[in-house]
Amino acid sequence: MGRIAILDCTLRDGGYLVNKQFSDNIMYGVINGLTSAGLEFVEIGFLQDDVSKGESTVFQNSEAARKWIPQEKNNTLYTVLADYSRYSVFNLDVCDGKSFDAIRACFFKHERKDVLPFLRTIVEKGYKLFIQPVDILGYQHIELLDLINDINQIEPECFSIVDTYGSMYLDDLQTVFSVIHHNLNPKTKIGFHSHNNLQMSSALSQEFLSLSQKRNVVVDATCLGMGRGAGNTPTELIVQFVNAKMGGAYNLDAVLDVIDSYMMGIKARYSWGYDVPMFLSGCYSSHVNNVNYLLQKPTLRFADLRFILNELSALERKRYDYVRLEELYLEYMRSDIDDTDDINRFQALVRDKTVLVVTPGKSVVDKSEMIEAFIERERPLVIAVNFIPQLSKTDYLYFSNLHRYDYWKRDKNFNSIGKIFTSNVTDVGSTDFVISFHRLVKTGWNNLDNSVIMLLRLLNIAGVERVALAGFDGFDLAASNYAITEMESNGYQDYARMNVEIERLFTDFLKTTRIKDISFITPSRFQHALLA
């Protein structure tokens, strides 16, 4: 049976979530704790040419990383990751045994020939070399065999199976392992690095270790599975598995102490792990940035996200081109309808009227008396945006957000109120007004489809002269934000960024609108834009 080794890369893979800025206490605590646990390898960060201020896990050379290495190493070796495109080995000093012991080099498939001198230099400078080809499932067998042939000439410490996009199943792993095992130099270990997009990470790691009877292997893991997006195989799970099933003698309590002392506080501030968007990323072998970008579109449902990912080519999914994503998003949302009659009828409806726009911010509840007093005094046309408020009067419901429409269409009051829909809401049936979605959006903004701004544009087109806003609060990062609890965010929105962008959208609208009087009935973080 081959020898099993565990490599914990919490500080490196988890470093993406904290901008590579762990505190000194966390750095020392995690490294020393995992060393005490008896892990064979602990990864402490990245090698990069450029190091930003405060990046505790980024180094230009071994001297910069030396302070993190424990006095008592036991039998643990320390690794760093070097991305071929971000690091020049000319910055690398000779290994002196006082800092990290091994370098894990990653590169894309199209770089596999160019990277060879880079790899040789690492070995020549005395470091153990781990080779981490990005997206192993993206290699055809002939390409993988060609790479292995080149790698055998270098004789690295380890060659890893890297499931970059979390899209691997057990049969994929078995096939790739077999190809590598039968063609890689027998002296070279086989490694495995997985991501949990399909909830397969731990199962794949266990299967990989079960194959170790044929080979010396190294399995990657992170404490609590910490890592960008869906995260990784949890260190504590793989330690327990090896101890229980494969004769291991790791100190599980030491790993649990690391989690208790350092990881739980991080988990309270940052989010990672399996969810549906990361599942879709795994299904389509898509870079997580594609998914994260599309998640900022509040109108997209999971099925819509899946449709757009499916429209990307295999190569496009593995990169992230935000211009291309925006094109596909607008193409998906666009309905080429002739809304001339609806626009004309809407103009007639709002002519000479004050319009009260009620959006679902929490102030709609907190300041309901102020809103009711305004309705009683001004007798406005009341249009509610993407929800049904508990007010004495609501004349029309405006929906441009498919999520919100799907939720509210079954409400008992839905059918008794007039409707204004944008054309991306495709299954509305008989309705009062349907307005072209594309007419109301303005490209160049991440939140180009913000429902409030789109409705304001419609009111501007219709010639409304007076608009009052209620519930257009903006987002509070530390409190609830919605009048209806069930409308609270699904956790995919960056509220701070959204506040900035919505304010810019509102300010941009104010520069060109013909609406003479815009006011706020309830407090809003955007109301100072009226004074600009």
Helices (H), 164-299: 170-183, 201-210, 235-245, 252-258, 264-269, 276-283, 288-295
* C-alpha distances out from residue 22 to 66, 145, 495, Å: 16, 39, 23
Give pLDDT, residue 426.
66
Q: Which of 383, 293, 392 is nearest to 346 (CA)?
A: 383
pLDDT tens by residue, 519-531: 999 999 899 888 7
The pLDDT score that the predictor gives to residue 293 is 81
Distance CA 101, CA 248 (A): 23
Q: Cite the DSSP H helix spans in 111-161.
A: 116-124, 141-152
Q: What is the CATH number of domain 4-269?
A: 3.20.20.70
Which parts of the chain have pLDDT scores under 70? 1, 298-299, 333-336, 426-431, 443-446, 478-479, 483, 485-493, 532
Output the pTM of the full model: 0.70
Report domain extents, the chain.
Answer: 4-269, 276-333, 340-531
What is the model's pLDDT at position 438? 78
Residue type, 271: S
The stretches of 356-436 forming alpha helices (DSSP H) are: 363-366, 368-378, 402-408
Give the integer Cα–Cα distance in Å for 225 and 232. 5
Is 418:405 a contact under the CB 8 Å cutoff? Answer: no
pLDDT of residue 333: 66
Query: Alpha-carbon distance 418 to 399, whole Å?
Result: 11
Residue listed under structure tokens 């094109």: 327
Contact of 86 with 106, CB cutoff 8 Å? no
Q: Please give the Cα distance from 159 to 148 (Å, whole number).
A: 9
What does the alpha-carbon distance between residue 225 and residue 220 come to, in Å, rounded to a whole number?
A: 10
CA dist., res. 201 & res. 230, Å (int): 10
